[in-house]
Structure 1
Amino acid sequence: MNIKRSILLRVRIAFLVAVVFVLAVVYKLVEVQMIEGDHWRSLAEQSSLDYKTIKATRGNIYADGDDLLATSLPFYQLAFDPSLVSDEIFTSKIDSLSTLLSKFFRDHSSEYYKKKISEARQMKSRYLVLNRELVNYRQRQEMQQWPIFRRGQMRGGVIFEKEDRRYKPFKGLAQRTIGSLDSEDEGLAGIEASFNDYLNGQDGEGLYQRVAGGNWKPVNASTDVRPIDGYDIHTTIDINLQDVAQDALLRAVSTYNAEYGVVVLMEVKTGEIKAISNLERTKSGGYAELYNHAVGTNNDPGSTFKLASMLALLEAGKVDLTDSVDTGDGTIEFFDGKLKLVDERKGGYGKITVQEVFEKSSNVGVSKLVTENFGDNPQEYIDIIKSTGYGKPLGFQLMGEGEPYIKEPGDDSWSGSTLPWMSVGYETSLTPLQTLAFYNAIANDGKMIQPILIKSINRANQPVETFEAKVLNKKIASDETLEKLRLMLEGVVERGTAKNIKNDYYKIAGKTGTAQRLVNGRYYSQQFYASFAGYFPAEDPMYSCIVVIDYPKGWNRFGGDVSAPVFKEIADMIYAQNLQIHDSFTPEYTAASNGTFPVIRAGRLEELNELCNELGIS
């Protein structure tokens, strides 16, 4: 009986112990979930780990000669893990560190920083942003020598979180051509967009720990995948010539209160673009690079297209330069009077030669020649022009090239007025760069080449891909035709509509262009698109150039008055700085050899004086 009672007692005791244990477990669960839940959830969040993207550093964009056009500069946010610092170091150095922080950021007192850091240490915080203001690389190096920080991240707790920012050392120079980035550091326009995949590089991945406040702290784990930085892009831009071109263009668009202006300067033999500027009027009334009109904006080229008309006439054997053309009183009607073309000179030019028709830019003369010789077969005229490559896409290296358009007789919009209208540069749609490529071909012995802006893609200063101008047409016309075209282009400057830019030291060849602006399908007779396209020196061409001024205001609104002087200003500066050009001139166009320099008509005085001193002339 005693044995039975003893067993029952033991069972009851075991049961009570089990009940108490279960109740204790339940109580602890309730306590953890309900009473201490927030605390433990916070600790769980603080200790969570995750892999985050480590952004690759975007590649640089260089000018010819390795001047930086765009680069990514490292900036850093300063953070601190006070738990990693020993008591001895913290106590002895916190005052001096707080003083340095206060002096550097100049936003709070040293007492503020000391209190902020000390409170974070007491709360065992492992991540404290000391200031939201970013510091640059030099400042980071300076901070790494400060008290506590000099012990590094593992013993000093200092954390520098890198953030790249795109920087353009030359500010607005070629800004639109270089391009821009969006908020995600992806290319929006220009080189930045067209070569985005190369510049971007390959992002890495790193292990991060989430700490108090929802911030993420890098763990610097061995499993981190390092990012691969982007490729560097080397361009053809000459930063000095870019500066000259942009300055000259800015003066012109400002003087004439134009809507926008374009300059493209290209090496004749290589097709390398040495300067490209697009200045557009802003809402505030100033000018800035907002859009690449040189590449993307189509317009009726106006009288610069007369060079193509003359090429067709000469290549087909329809005319010679000495043939005479009766331009009458300077007016002519086509299509039953629905189209009336007039010459700029009131009363007309009367009977003049074909060469004079071009030099004087006679609308009557050119349209009369083209309609009389191609009126029965306008397709022949179109075919000759298009066979040169003019009117076809260039396949330019930047995205956004405007689609060229030269009408065909089979088009729905072709009418009885199209041929004469087209012969003087209307009812066509071409970009400044496409017109420049055509003029460059005349200067380049008939070889049409693709303008290029990018020379190479590099990794660690070594090219991984290089580019040269593609030949678009080996010979756009016969040597005889080319010689006559060059003679007429020189005559425009010697005697014609651009004689205001003639000079005694080197020859310019080119053609003025003035077209009525087409706005919403309607031509405006008092709004003009003024241009000048050509090359220099005419005897041995080194550079071709086009200048466009859209909607100049005032009395002088024509290509010869507005755009040609910009061309000359650029050419003058190159002439003054480039001794190689001087070697190509005939004695008539060479400086005197008696130790004196001819009168300099344009250019920057300081640079010209320095050049003269180097040459030992006065």
Structure 2
Amino acid sequence: MNIKKSIVVRVRLAFLLVCLFACAIVYKVIAIQYLDGEKWKSISKERRIFYKPVHATRGNIFSDNGSILATSLPFYRVAFDPTVAKAEVFNNGVDSLAMLLAQFYGDRSEDYYRRKIKNARHAGRRYIRLNSRQINYQDKKLMAKWPVFRDGKNKGGVIFEKVEKRFKPFGLLADRTIGFINEDKNGAGLEFSFNGDLTGADGEALFERIAGGSKPIYDGTEVKPQHGYDIKTTLDINLQDVAENALYKALERTNAEYGCVILMEVKTGEIKAIANLGKTTGGYIEDYNYAVGNQGRTEPGSTFKLASMMALFEHAPEVKLTDTIDTGDGRYRIKNTVMTDAKINGYGKLTVQQVFEKSSNVGVAKLMEAHFSNDQQAYIDYLNKFGLNSTLGFQMEGEARPYMKDPRDKNWYGTTLTSMSIGYELKLSPLQTLAFYNAVANNGVKIQPIIVKEIRKADEVLHSYSTRVLDDQICSEATLKKLRMMLEGVVANGTAKNVLSADYKIAGKTGTARKVKNGRYVKEYSTSFAGYFPADNPKYSCIVIIDSPRGVNVYGGDVAAPVFKELADKAYARDLAMHKPMHERVVPNRESIPQVEAGSFDDLRTICNTIGVSTRNGNLDDEWVKVVPLRRSLGFEATPVMKNTVPDVQGMTLRDALYILGNQHLKVKVSGAGKRVKEQSLEPGTEINEEKTITITLS
């Protein structure tokens, strides 16, 4: 009996506790709903309603003539508030709307979209994203006419969420120069360098959190974004296209690792074209700004000889272009190393002009030793004065810092002076080398290259960039005159004869520098050509770099110079201001071809170029040639002069004949009168094994 009574008591206590707990729950509900209702409503509203940034439209990037290089295009995501439309509008249009959505997106069935929209309306959901795919403005206009959607956002419930995408109308043209900016605000090129101007200022608007996302609330408190400013560059789209195509062909032909081209206006410093192409598995793309950045900073090689010669002429103005240097057999021992020239067995005795034209390493090294060996710091001081040890302050981020040794450095060796003089043991970017060459073309005025001319807000110019002079006189007038003659001689008579033009003069210098791998120089080269045109009145300066070309001819004159020539030809053809008046040009014909038969190759070619007569086979290495008259031009055939052999002097002037025969240790008798040799008594090719006399007959 006691056990039964105990069980009943326990049940009653449990029931009482459950009742008390239920009453507590009811009380709490009433308290939350009525006593503390305003408090919780306020908290709920604060968490549901929030301000969200509204991104500004990014500014445009223009070329020099106003063509758009980069712009922001509006795209949209389509969302929907199915609770907004009236029942009649919704019921009459939902089937057609589902059908159109299925046809447009093509990823889901009509039934899928119908169920998705109806279920959301039934559940009272005020926001659903119909599809994650973005649509363009034309598609937006089309969708705005569809059933239900045609009633707009407030009555139809359609929500077009704007998303902007960066678009480049010219595709990959100047891709790396235009650059990019990512979500972390990192990037490259103009997009990154001028991000502060292009970005603008974001606004903000009130949004409500709802199931599936957030919905904007336009209550008049929104802050409109301030759109980004536009930037106008100096780039010429047509020249940019030519530069990239010419570079691409050269890289493919030589299977090189990378290359770059910069074309700049001499007087203004405006960059008209800048191309950068690197090798990938699928070909060549603009993967890095080699023209400006650290990866393009290399030992320049022979293009740096211009700086060495400038230092020489400034230090020793008495040095003349006609002074001679014996380069011997092309091998020159300096301390424990041997410097060599490109030509086997060397060039022998050369003038200072020829040392530069033929790019003789031995000749330049001997000149530097003769004038700077006792004061090597003076050489470095000249380079510093020329601004070669400092950056240019270029407008784009990432400009490489030059590397230049100093005699006080621990790594300054006994061979450093001569190595630096020919472009080794120092590093420059292509843009820095070009700025130096541009100063020579610009009468000694060194200016800062620019690539952005203006910051604009619509048609209003907010800020303009003009030429900034870095050095108003980089060297003396006398030095400039010598340098210009040497640079023109490289194209007329030296290592860049293959880019000689009959229409305009080119001045420049080739470069072929060995590359370093694992601390040692290997047989891979960085080839280059830097110069300007037209040489007599420079309009453009240009540099071409092609790194690690493969093949038989891997010198700057064979690889880089033709790219320069192709770009220069196109620039010259489209700029009528550079053209000479037609009456000043000599049009060659049979009657105008000079009566020449044989002589010095350099002299004959110079004469023909001066009077406008076209020549063929103009790239011979032999000093003496015979002339072969062609239909409307002259051709050249080599006439080798071999030791201990009677040379062929027929057709040559008396002066040339006496010079050659005298060097062969022949006694010469002259008969007849006239300007040229008609006959010679000894047959060409006869061996000279004793002192002989040769009679030449003039006519």
The two structures have a TM-score, normalised by structure 2, of 0.77
User: 1:140 is matched with which residue?
Assistant: 140
Distance 1:54 1:591, change over 3 A: farther
Structure 2 residue 391 is matched with structure 1 residue 385: no
Who is 1:436 aligned against? 434
Structure 1 partner of 2:247: 249
AA aligned opposite 1:544 = S
Quote the residue 2:218 is aligned against.
220
Instruction: Describe how 1:321-470 pairs up with structure 2 within 5 A.
Output: 321-335=321-335, 338-470=336-468
Residue 200 of structure 1: how far off its partner (Å): 1.4
**Pairwise CA distance, 1:583:** 3.7
1:26-425 equivalences under 5 Å are 26-27=25-26, 29=28, 48-184=48-184, 186-213=185-212, 215-282=213-280, 284-296=281-293, 297-316=296-315, 317-335=317-335, 338-425=336-423
Match of 1:555 among 552, 575, 581: 552
CA distance in 1, matches of 2:489, 2:287: 36
Structure 1 unaligned residues grouped into runs of 5+: 1-19, 34-39, 593-597, 602-618
Q: CA deviation at 1:556?
A: 1.1
Q: Is the CA contact (8 Å cut-off) linking 1:46 and 1:210 kept in structure 2? A: no
Q: CA deviation at 1:26?
A: 3.9
Distance 2:329 2:579 in 1: 44
Q: Distance in 2 between matches of 1:548 and 1:364?
A: 24
For 1:484 and 1:550, locate their aligned partners in 2 and report how far apart those are by CA, in whole Å. 30
- Asked which structure has the greater CA Rg, the reply is 2
Letter in 1 for 2:96: S
**Residues 531-583 of structure 1: CA deviation (Å, up to 9, x unaligned):** 00001111111110000001111111110000000000111111222222214
Return the alpha-carbon distance in structure 1 between the equivalents of residues 410 and 92 of structure 2: 88
Paired with 1:569 and 1:406, the residues of 2 have a C-alpha distance of 33
| CA distance in 1: counterparts of 2:305 and 2:581, whole angstroms | 29
Letter in 2 for 1:480: A
Letter aligned with residue 165 of structure 2:
R
Q: Which is further off, 241-250 or 220-229?
A: 220-229
Rate the CA distance shift 1:151–1:410 in 2: closer, same or farther, 3 A.
same
Q: CA deviation at 1:73?
A: 1.4
Alpha-carbon spacing, 1:405–1:588, altered in 2? closer, same or farther (3 Å): farther
**Which range is displaced more, 237-246 or 172-181?**
172-181
Residue identity opposite 1:266 in structure 2: M
Distance between the aligned counterparts of 1:149 and 1:496, measured in 2? 74
User: 1:297-345 CA deviation, whole Å, 9 max, x = no partner?
Assistant: 311110001111111111221511000111101110112xx12111111
CA contact (8 A) 1:504 1:589 kept: no
Alpha-carbon separation, structure 2, partners of 1:204 and 1:590: 67
Q: Which residue of 2 aligns with 1:540?
A: 537
Q: Alpha-carbon deviations, 1:265-322, whole Å to 9, x = none?
A: 001110000111111112x141111111110131111000111111111122151100
Give yes or no for contact 1:505–1:590 (8 Å, CA) kept in 2: no
Q: Which position in structure 2 is the counterpart of 1:582?
A: 579
Conserved 8 A contact 1:582-1:590: no
Q: 1:540, 1:584 within 8 Å by CA — same for their partners in 2?
A: no
Note if contact 1:46-1:211 (Cα within 8 Å) is conserved in structure 2.
no
Report the CA distance between 1:357 and its aligned residue.
0.5
Closer/same/farther in 2, CA of residues 45 and 288 from structure 1, 3 Å limit: farther
Q: Distance in 1 between matches of 2:587 and 2:109?
A: 70
For residues 450-477 of structure 1, give each alpha carbon's deviation from its aligned partner in whole angstroms, at most 9, with x where no partner exists. Answer: 0001111111231111111210010111
User: 1:108, CA displacement in angstroms?
Assistant: 2.1
In 2, distance between residues paired with 1:46 and 1:437? 60
* SS of structure 1 residue aligned to 2:400: coil
- Displacement of 1:111: 2.7
Q: For structure 1, which segment, 234-243 or 373-382, has the greater mean C-alpha deviation from structure 2 after superposition?
A: 373-382
Deviates more, 1:353-362 or 1:70-79: 70-79
Which whole-Å CA distance do the structure 2 matches of 1:424 and 1:84 have between them? 78
1:479 aligns with 2:477: yes
Contact kept, 8 Å, 1:539 with 1:584, in 2: the verdict is no
The whole-number CA distance in structure 2 between the counterparts of 1:319 and 1:369 is: 10
Deviations 1:378-404 (A, max 9, x none): 122222232122332101111111111
1:160 counterpart letter in structure 2: F
Task: Give the AA of the match of 2:51.
Answer: Y
Question: How does the TM-score come out when normalised to structure 1?
Answer: 0.87
Q: Is the 8 A contact 1:437 1:450 kept in 2?
A: yes
**1:449–1:73 CA distance, 2 compared to 1 (3 A):** same
CA 1:528–1:584 in structure 2 vs 1: closer, same or farther (change >3 Å)? Answer: farther
One-letter amino acid matched to 2:290:
H
Structure 2 CA distance for partners of 1:270 and 1:202, relative to 1, 3 Å: same
Separation in 2, partners of 1:258, 1:32: 80
Question: Helix, strand or coil: the match of 1:131?
Answer: strand
Q: Which moved more, 1:559-568 or 1:412-421?
A: 412-421
Q: Distance in 1 between matches of 2:389 and 2:302?
A: 15
Counterparts of 1:21 and 1:497 in 2: how far apart (Å)? 105
> Which of 552, 559, 564 matches 2:561?
564
| CA-to-aligned-CA distance 1:566-618 (integer Å, 9 cap, x gap) | 000111111222222214799348899xxxxx99x9xxxxxxxxxxxxxxxxx
Q: In 2, are the aligned partners of 1:539 and 1:585 still within 8 Å (CA)?
A: no
Call closer, same or farther: CA 1:585–1:382 in 2, change over 3 Å: farther
Choose 406-415 or 583-592, whichever is displaced more. Answer: 583-592
Q: Take 2:289 and 2:301, find their aligned partners in 1: how far apart are those partners?
A: 20
User: SS where residue 84 of structure 1 aligns?
Assistant: coil
Q: Secondary structure at the match of 1:295?
A: coil
What is the alpha-carbon distance in structure 1 between the residues aligned to residue 519 and residue 403 of structure 2? Answer: 15
The 1:195/1:47 distance shift into structure 2, 3 A limit, reads closer
1:318 & 1:56 partners in 2: Cα distance? 64
Moved more, 169-178 or 528-537: 169-178
- Judge conservation of contact 1:61–1:69 (CA < 8 Å) in 2: yes
Matched residue SS, 1:280? strand
CA distance in structure 2 between the partners assigned to 1:138 and 1:237 by the alignment: 31
Question: What is the rounded CA distance, in whole Å, between the counterparts of 2:282 and 2:120 in structure 1?
Answer: 52
Paired residue secondary structure (1:475):
coil
Shift of 1:22: 12
